[in-house]
Amino acid sequence: MEVTKKRIIDAAIIVFNNDPSGTLEMVAEKAEVTTRTLYRYFKDRKILLEFCRQEMTFTCKAAMNAAFEASTIPLKQLELTLYACIDCGSKYAFFDKTNQRSEYQPSAGNEENREYDHINSRWIALIIALQKEDIITSELTPEWIQQLFSGMINTTLRAMGSGNIAPNSIKKFAWYSFSKSIGISDQKPS
């Protein structure tokens, strides 16, 4: 019951993430329920999207905060954040897309928007700190680094989906490539 509801929301996030005008039938199919069941849980598309938004915000916020708090070393925090967002999968991808692009924002100043801004500024602060300490390059702007970050999540998700890269190597690849791409100075052995 609650399980079904969650399954539908998760399915919707996946479907709408790469097909915003996708039909509710696609969502239902992905969730392995009939459309009739879907409509029992969600009055209409708008409501469903609201639940998606809520779910994405909640999940991503929790995952990212947990990553932050799992270490006090800034660089480690960044690495853990990357892994956390990868684990959020489409939830992160869609969450980021909806908050980045204005088209998706129905009414500015709502709860989910503030949540995003909060996590976001914390993440940006981390980047700036790393730049100040010369751990990553200052040749790149924080805005670009942020694009690289979400870009790397998307790349990783696509790679996982494509199936021709060993799943257990992927996260390591992602961190390797991302850390280099932001001009990390080589880590010394000790």
Partner DNA sequence: AAAATATGTCATATAATTGCGACATGGAAG
Partner DNA sequence: CTTCCATGTCGCAATTATATGACATATTTT
Long-range contacts (CB closer than 8 Å, 24 or more residues apart) made by 75-82 = 75/130, 75/135, 75/184, 77/126, 78/126, 78/127, 78/130, 78/179, 79/175, 79/179, 81/123, 81/126, 82/149, 82/152, 82/153, 82/174, 82/175, 82/178
Residues in contact with DNA, counted by CB under 7 A, come to a total of 19
| 18 touches DNA (CB under 7 A) | no
Q: Which stretch binds DNA (CB under 7 A): 44-52, 83-91, 120-128, 135-143?
A: 44-52
Q: Which of residues 46 and 188 has its CB atom nearest to DNA in the complex? A: 46
Nearer to its own copies among residue 133 and residue 143 (C-beta): 143
Residue that the structure tokens 């956390």 belong to: 84
**From candidates 32, 69, 117, 134, binder to DNA by CB under 7 A:** 32
Q: Buried b / exposed e across 72-102, counting CB within 10 Å, b at 16+?
A: eebbebbbbbbbbbbebbbbbbbbbbbbeee
Q: Applying CB under 7 A, does 51 fall inside the site for DNA?
A: no
Q: Which residues, including other chains, have CB under 8 Å from residue 111's CB and lie 6 or more apart?
A: 57
- Select the binding partner of residue 155 from its own copies, DNA, none (C-beta < 5 to 8 A, by kind): its own copies
Q: Which is nearer to its own copies, 68 or 82 (CB)?
A: 82
Q: Give the x/- contact pattern for its own copies in 96-115, rule: CB under 8 A.
A: ----x---------------
CB nearer DNA, residue 33 or residue 184: 33
Interface residues toward DNA, by CB under 7 A: 1, 3-4, 23-25, 32-37, 39-41, 43-46
